[in-house]
């Protein structure tokens, strides 16, 4: 759960970090990261996980694998000093899972890639190579990364999805010829896989056999990978600079937290706490009201489209938000719930809170994805912010109300107005990551 990962962390001078990257999405980074996290924990290492870029789902799996709070580290949205400050944890070892391919970042520049994060943190990269369609050529990706980004050490390669012992030997020979350390192999027959849905993996809190999966993954990777060599490859993090924190929405903040509202960044919530705010979780799906003494209410993103019926029937939750004087802010899924109606995938329209003139639809889908430069026009924010969008929902109707932001994409292209701000209520499809 989101709020369980919040206490502001003490500094640890000896934190060492390693970035897990790959040449492309789907190579097996998440599975191997989770296997390594659990295996290293089981081997006695004081280890935590982190995710490169904007992601809510993978860090929850990292937390499950280690029992420790996971981080989001975003080389596009966070300044260098803040990145280094956030990466210092109260653990000895930080395993950072990259996103997409090692050089894939935002817009035309590619800024914010896993390679950029590794360079900023002085962390080596461990490449995950899906070898299912190559043999000796499995060395090309790591060799290419070494050539393109020579300033970043390559710790080595884990081969994933090898089809036979002979296939594994051929791929390993390619690594040896390129002078790239081979740190392990996961055969295709292992068959480790997590279920997914439209925004990524099914959430950790919804995975009934997650603990069994983590232990199985740990067992397999311990058999075939050199855990101690992987741990030793991690490098000490540089001394941090000043941390730029997100100002709190209020002093007593009620935070919606359940399967419909699970996408709140722990680092933002921790920032609010570090500045003196108290956080009070409640579950709209359980028809609960927010703390009556709260002066702000935060509805994070999540999967309201999967729970539209129960949310429409949550009359205590509805009455409380319709009659509060507290500041209310919603992101993405939370924004959809603040509107008049939400149409689900089957085409059924469900009544929402009616606090903003907005009707959204999951029956008519269009992918909106990318980083956003956000300039506040109203609502609770007073200075520029960095955020991102990732949703398939569309707007069917939007009434007259002032915008919350004007927005640009990562290349600086004008995206126009985004979100709505009306009285004490505001929201948009953007997820805020950090102050600009």
DSSP result, 350-400: EE---SSSEEEESSS---EEEEEEEEESSTT--S-EEEEEEE--EEEEE-S
* CB-CB contact of 105 with 76 (8 Å): yes
Beta bridge mates, 199? none
Q: Which helix (H) or strand (E) holds 32?
A: helix 29-42
* CB-CB contact of 271 with 245 (8 Å): yes
What sign has the CA pseudo-torsion 222, 224, 228, 234?
A: negative
Number of Cα atoms under 13 Å in the Cβ half of residue 198: 15
With 0-12 / 13-18 / 19 or more C-beta atoms within 10 angstroms meaning exposed / middle / buried, residue 44 is exposed
Per residue, the 3-state secondary structure of 219-230, as one string, reads: HHHHHHECHHHH
Strands, sheet with 394-398, edge to edge from the N-terminal-most edge strand: 349-351, 341-343, 358-361, 394-398
Comparing C-alpha atoms, which of 52, 202, 213 is closest to residue 126?
52
* CB-CB contact of 133 with 161 (8 Å): no
Strands 349-351 and 341-343: antiparallel
The encoded tokens of residue 203 equal: 């959430």
Contacting residues for 284 by C-beta, under 8 A, at least 6 apart: 256, 258, 260, 261, 299, 311, 314, 317, 337
Summarize the chain as % helix, strand, coil (round to 5): 30, 30, 40
DSSP 415: E
DSSP 111: B
Q: Which residues are catalytic?
A: 332
What sign has the CA pseudo-torsion 175, 179, 180, 182?
A: positive
């Amino acid at each position: 759960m989101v709020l369980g990962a919040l206490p502001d962390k003490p500094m640890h001078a000896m934190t060492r970090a390693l970035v897990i990257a790959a040449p492309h999405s789907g190579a097996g980074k998440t599975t191997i990261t989770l296997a390594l996290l659990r295996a290293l924990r089981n081997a006695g290492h004081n280890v935590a996980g982190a995710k490169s870029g904007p992601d809510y789902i993978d860090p929850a799996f990292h937390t499950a694998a280690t029992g420790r709070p996971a981080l989001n580290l975003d080389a596009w949205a966070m300044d260098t000093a803040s990145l280094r400050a956030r990466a210092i944890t109260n653990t000895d070892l930080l395993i950072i899972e990259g996103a997409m391919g090692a050089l894939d970042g935002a817009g035309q520049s590619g800024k914010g890639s896993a390679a950029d994060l590794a360079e900023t943190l002085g962390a080596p990269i461990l490449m995950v190579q899906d070898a299912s369609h190559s043999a000796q050529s499995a060395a090309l990706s790591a060799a290419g990364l070494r050539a393109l980004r020579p300033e970043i050490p390559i710790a080595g390669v884990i081969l994933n999805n090898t089809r036979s012992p002979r296939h594994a030997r051929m791929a390993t020979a390619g690594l040896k010829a390129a002078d790239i350390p081979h740190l392990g192999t996961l055969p295709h027959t292992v068959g480790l896989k997590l279920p997914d849905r439209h925004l990524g993996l099914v959430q950790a809190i919804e995975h009934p056999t997650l603990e069994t999966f983590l232990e199985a993954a740990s067992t397999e990777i311990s058999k075939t990978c050199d855990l101690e060599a992987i741990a030793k490859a991690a490098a000490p993090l540089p001394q941090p600079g000043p941390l730029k924190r997100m100002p709190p929405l209020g002093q007593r903040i009620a935070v919606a937290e359940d399967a419909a509202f699970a996408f709140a960044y722990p680092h933002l919530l921790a920032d609010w706490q570090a500045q003196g705010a108290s956080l009070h979780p409640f579950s709209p799906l359980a028809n609960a009201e927010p703390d009556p003494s709260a002066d702000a209410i935060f509805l994070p993103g999540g999967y309201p489209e999967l729970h539209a019926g129960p949310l429409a029937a949550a009359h205590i939750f509805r009455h409380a938000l319709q009659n509060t004087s507290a500041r209310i802010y919603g992101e993405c899924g939370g924004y959809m719930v603040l509107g008049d109606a939400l149409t689900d995938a089957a085409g059924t329209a469900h009544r929402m809170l009616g606090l903003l003139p907005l009707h959204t639809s999951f029956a008519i889908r269009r992918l909106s994805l990318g980083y956003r430069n956000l300039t506040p026009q109203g609502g609770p924010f007073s200075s520029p912010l960095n955020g991102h969008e990732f949703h398939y929902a569309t707007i069917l109707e939007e009434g007259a109300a002032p915008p919350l932001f004007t927005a640009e994409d990562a290349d600086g292209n004008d995206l126009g107005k985004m979100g709505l701000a009306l009285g004490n209520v505001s929201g948009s499809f953007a997820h805020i990551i950090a102050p600009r």
